[in-house]
Amino acid sequence: MKGDEEATGGSTEVGERRRYELDDQGFDEVPKKYRKFYRRWKGPGDELAPNEIFCPVCRIVIRSPREIRPGDRIYCMACMTRLRAVRGPDGRIVAEVEYT
Amino acid sequence: MRDFLDAYSIQYWLESCPQGYLEGTEYGHRPGEKEPELLLDDPTLREQAISTTVQLVVGERCALAASSGLINAAPDEASRRFLATQTLDEARHVEIFTQRLYDLGVKKSELEDVIDAFANPNLVKFAEILLEKVDKKDFVAGVVGQNVILEGMAFHVFEMMHATSEKLNPKFAHTLSGTIADERRHVGFGENRIGSLIQAHPEKKPEIERMQRDMSYYMLATFADRFRDTASREEVQRMRREAGSDGAGSGTWQGANLADLEPEEMERLLADTILGEFKKRLARIGIEYQTPARP
Ligand SMILES: [Fe+2]
Ligand SMILES: [Fe+2]
Ligand SMILES: [Zn+2]
């Protein structure tokens, strides 16, 4: 579907969520079995895929096996922060921190 | 979803840190790695590297004193345990940066004199403001000062240094990458734990905001001293020339090619990045960022 690729986060919020095969991208800061869920952030020009979200607390990229949509709850194991995906002012999906 | 306080376990720390990214390291870097010859053979470059490393030791000694001091001020068991792991992380940082001073040729008998001679007075003031809160067992202010302000600063300084060292000095870059990984947990604890405590203690906000403004001022003053120093400028230019670079030796950070920047531009980029992050982090925990005076 066109438009799908345009916004970062690319979520259409309707229908089946796309699924993603995750590979280990060398992020070694969490125990081995969780490494494929994270990657390093490459700086301001780094384009995020629809299954990826930036952790605003520790500045790494969290990767989900499926497309991320607003309302999803996400855990950043690198900084132990609970996040919730929301639609940002520019239409991109961003993570908001949830405090207890 | 697990309870976030449950994540602060020694078990998790063991699996991710000593049994994870630190496994097989020696003082934080790969075994056998050495400081570059260029740095060891050139007196100006060596002195600059010593001076920079002294600031890291000063910052880490402050973090060690603060994290250990806050253990008994913490209101819950999980925070005490987290701070115990942080205390060990900070002690390790003190050790690995001290080891770097030895690797750069500082003699053990001269260590304290070298630290006294090179420690930036503004960085010392920065540390004193935080340690005053810790001495008063003020947990909320202490954690904001340490895990948001001190660590927020260290996080970016380490990232920038990592970008400049990645190709020129892999030993130092590896030492830094383990500390950056540790800092992620520390800043995470700061935000997560304090986010809820601030809501319960709104009366503490003005004092914390004042502390943030004062610490930020001394941070900027430290950067001004470091980057405006003519020898530092010489260091950057020489490193670039010797590395045969038009940029090949330094990395990119925050979207900028560091090799293209003059020292003042680097100072501005670093200061603006850190202050911008302070603002966002403090807003998330309900504290209003106070703009510091520019030194
Ligand atoms: Fe540290
Ligand atoms: Fe730290
Ligand atoms: Zn994170």
Q: Which residue has the tokens 């990045």?
A: B273
In a domain, B195, yes or no: no
Report the separation in Å between the CA atom of B156 and the middle of ligand 1, taken as the mean of its atom positions: 12
A31 close to B (CB below 8 A): yes
Contact call for B191 and A81, based on CB within 8 A: yes
The mean of the pLDDT values for chain B is 89
Question: For residue B82, is it within any domain?
Answer: yes
State the pTM of this model.
0.89
CB contact under 8 A, B285 and A99: yes
Lowest mean pLDDT among B5-14, B71-80, B229-238: B229-238
B2 pLDDT more than 60: no
Q: How far is the CA of B128 from the centre of ligand 3 (A)?
A: 29
* ipTM summary value: 0.84
Q: Is the dihedral of CA B26, B32, B36, B39 positive or negative?
A: positive
Between B263 and B54, the more confident residue is B54
Q: Which of B9, B156, B184 to mutate to test the interface with A (most CBs of A within 10 A)?
A: B184
Whether residue B233 is predicted with pLDDT greater than 70 in this model: the reply is no
What is the separation of C-alpha B32 from the centre of its chain, rounded to a whole number of angstroms? 25
**B90 is a domain residue:** yes
Examine residue B295 and state whether it is found in any structural domain, yes or no. no
Cβ < 5 A residues, ion ligand 1: B 60, 63, 90, 93
User: What is the end-to-end Cα distance of chain A in Å, rounded?
Assistant: 39
**Span B93-109, pLDDT tens digits:** 999 999 999 999 999 99
| Domain coverage including residue B185 | 10-190+201-284
pLDDT-derived band at A95 (thresholds 50, 70, 90) equals very high
Is the predicted pLDDT of residue A3 greater than 70, yes or no?
no
Tally of helices (H runs) and strands (E runs) in chain A: 0, 6
How far is the C-alpha of A86 from the C-alpha of A75, rounded, in Å?
A: 14
pLDDT at B251: 77
Which tops the pLDDT comparison, B203 or B256? B203
Task: Give the integer Cα–Cα distance in Å for A58 and A29.
Answer: 12
All residues at 6 or more sequence positions from B47 whose CB lies less than 8 Å from its CB, including other chains? B231
Q: Does A74 lie at the interface with B, CB-CB under 8 angstroms?
A: no
Return d(Cα A94, Cα A91) in angstroms, integer.
9
Domain for residue B143, yes or no?
A: yes
Asked if residue B231 belongs to a domain, the reply is yes
Is any Cβ of chain A less than 8 angstroms from the Cβ of B191? yes
Query: Which pLDDT does position B227 carry in this prediction?
Result: 82
Domain containing residue B63: CATH number = 1.10.620.20
Digit-coded pLDDT (tens) for B114-130: 999 999 999 999 999 99
| Residue-averaged pLDDT of chain A | 86
Find the mean pLDDT for residues A60-69. Answer: 96
Where does the pLDDT of residue B200 fall: very low under 50, low under 70, confident under 90, or very high at 90 and above? confident
> Does any CB of chain A come closer than 8 Å to the CB of residue B257?
no
A46 touches chain B (CB under 8 A): no
The pLDDT value recorded for residue B231 is 57
Q: What's residue A100's pLDDT?
A: 64
Classify residue B171: in a domain, yes or no.
Answer: yes
The pLDDT value recorded for residue B5 is: 64
Query: Which chain A residues are closer than 8 Å to B284 by Cβ?
Result: 56, 97
Within-domain flag for B228: yes
Strands (E), chain B: 252-253, 256-257
Contact (CB<8Å) A79/B7: no
Q: Residue A39: its chain B contacts at CB < 8 A?
A: none
Number of domains in chain B: 1
Q: A4-36: buried (b, 16+ CB within 10 Å) or exposed (e) per residue?
A: eeebbbbbeeeeebeeeeeeeeebbbbeeeebb
Q: What is the pLDDT of residue A9?
A: 45
Average pLDDT over residues B153-159: 91
- The 10s digit of each residue's pLDDT in B271-284 is 888 889 889 999 99
